[in-house]
């Protein structure tokens, strides 16, 4: 069962066990994490007033991969809710850091790939879970291709070939391979604390759009972001 806890550091934690099939519980766990993160960033407008601001990053740990046949009994409605929860996680106004250990597949892999910064312990393997006859064609495949490119991910997507930790690092799927993930999480949280959450969200969206949007179409959004930064700089100087 997914578990959540608030750590003593300026971080939230979510632990996902990828051996468990996708469930409403997993959707609720990710949604609950997003609720708390948005409260802390001061961006939620529903369900009560936001909590105090100040936390700069959301950290979570993932591990485990489901056995073959894990998708038996699932329906598209549940899968849709799960993908919406991950998309919300992917757009949080805080930096997200994921730590993977051991075999990582299913909900664990999908959540891992939605993070801004992805850290893995040595020996980690990324596994696309298999359905009845072939690897599951979920959005993990989409995110893997966006991160690493088609050629590098082809065998994983078509045949379920494991992505070893060193490969994931070389492909850009993993940002750091380390025996001390906590140190990387703390360092990332420190860096994130220097940038307001709303600015993180804007810059992240500009990166997302760059992969699919032509220069002329992207120019307006980037100029608007530049104008925002210039105005903020002027306000700071005026104080």
For the segment 130-186, what is each residue's pLDDT rounded down to a tens digit?
A: 766 677 888 999 999 989 999 999 999 888 899 999 999 999 999 999 999 888 888
Q: Are residues 85 and 32 in the same domain?
A: yes
**Paired tokens of 20:** 């468990």
Q: Is the dihedral of CA 7, 112, 67, 71 positive or negative?
A: positive
* 218, HSE (Cβ side, Cα atoms, 13 Å): 13
Determine the Cα–Cα distance for residues 127 and 140; give it in Å rounded to an integer. Answer: 10
Give the residue from 229, 223, 219 showing the smallest Cα distance to 195: 229
Domain boundary among 154, 170, 192: 192
- The predicted structure's pLDDT at residue 197: 65
User: Per-residue confidence at 3, pLDDT binned at 50, 70, 90?
Assistant: low
Tell me the pLDDT tens digit for each residue of 93-144.
889 999 999 999 999 999 999 999 999 999 999 999 876 667 788 899 999 9
135: DSSP letter: B
Q: Are residues 117 and 202 in the same domain?
A: no
Going from the C-alpha of 161 to that of each of 66, 101, 114, 123, the distances in angstroms are 15, 18, 20, 15
Q: Are residues 36 and 81 in the same domain?
A: yes
Q: Are residues 221 and 181 in the same domain?
A: no
- The predicted structure's pLDDT at residue 61: 93
- The predicted structure's pLDDT at residue 6: 43
Beta bridge partners of 164: 125
Determine the Cα–Cα distance for residues 216 and 238; give it in Å rounded to an integer. Answer: 34
- The predicted structure's pLDDT at residue 79: 92
Could you tell me if 182 and 126 are in contact, meaning their C-beta atoms sit under 8 angstroms apart?
no
Q: Are residues 92 and 203 in the same domain?
A: no
Q: Are residues 11 and 98 in the same domain?
A: yes
List the domain range (segments joined by +) for residue 234.
197-238
pTM exceeds 0.85, yes or no: no
Q: Are residues 186 and 201 in the same domain?
A: no
User: Per-residue confidence at 233, pLDDT binned at 50, 70, 90?
Assistant: low
Q: Are residues 183 and 218 in the same domain?
A: no
Burial of 219 (0-12, 13-18, 19+ CB in 10 A): exposed
- The predicted structure's pLDDT at residue 43: 59
For residue 132, the domain's CATH number is 3.90.226.10
- The predicted structure's pLDDT at residue 12: 44
Could you tell me if 108 and 17 are in contact, meaning their C-beta atoms sit under 8 angstroms apart?
yes
Could you tell me if 154 and 132 are in contact, meaning their C-beta atoms sit under 8 angstroms apart?
no
Q: Are residues 47 and 91 in the same domain?
A: yes
Q: Are residues 187 and 203 in the same domain?
A: no
Tell me the pLDDT tens digit for each residue of 58-87.
899 999 999 887 887 888 999 999 999 999
**Paired tokens of 137:** 């064609």
**Paired tokens of 147:** 């991160």
Q: How many domains does the chain have?
A: 2
Q: Which residue has the higher pLDDT, 185 or 25?
A: 25
Q: Are residues 86 and 168 in the same domain?
A: yes
Q: Are residues 31 and 138 in the same domain?
A: yes
3-state DSSP assignment of residue 165: helix
User: Helices H, strands E: what count in the chain?
Assistant: 9, 8
Q: List the single range of 41-45, 173-177, 205-209 with lowest mean pLDDT.
A: 41-45
């Amino acid at each position: 069962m997914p578990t959540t806890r608030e750590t003593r550091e300026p971080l939230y934690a979510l632990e996902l066990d990828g051996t468990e099939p996708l469930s409403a519980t997993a959707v609720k766990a990710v949604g609950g994490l997003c609720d708390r993160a948005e409260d802390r960033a001061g961006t939620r407008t529903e369900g009560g007033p936001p909590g105090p601001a100040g936390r700069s990053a959301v950290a979570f740990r993932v591990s485990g991969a489901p056995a073959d046949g894990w998708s038996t009994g699932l329906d598209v409605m549940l899968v849709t809710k799960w993908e919406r929860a991950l998309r919300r996680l992917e757009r949080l106004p805080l930096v997200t850091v994921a730590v993977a250990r051991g075999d990582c597949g299913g909900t664990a892999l999908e959540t891992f790939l939605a993070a801004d910064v992805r850290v893995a312990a040595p020996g980690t393997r990324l596994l696309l879970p298999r359905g009845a006859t072939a690897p599951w064609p979920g959005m993990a495949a989409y995110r893997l291709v966006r991160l690493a490119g088609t050629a590098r991910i082809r065998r994983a997507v078509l045949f379920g070939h494991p992505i070893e930790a060193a490969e994931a690092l070389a492909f850009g799927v993993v940002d750091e391979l380390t025996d001390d993930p906590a140190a990387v999480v703390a360092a990332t949280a420190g860096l994130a604390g220097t940038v307001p959450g709303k600015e993180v969200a804007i810059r992240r969206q500009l990166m997302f759009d760059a992969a699919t949007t032509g220069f002329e179409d992207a120019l307006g959004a980037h100029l608007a972001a530049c104008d925002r930064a210039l105005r903020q700089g002027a306000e700071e100087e005026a104080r």
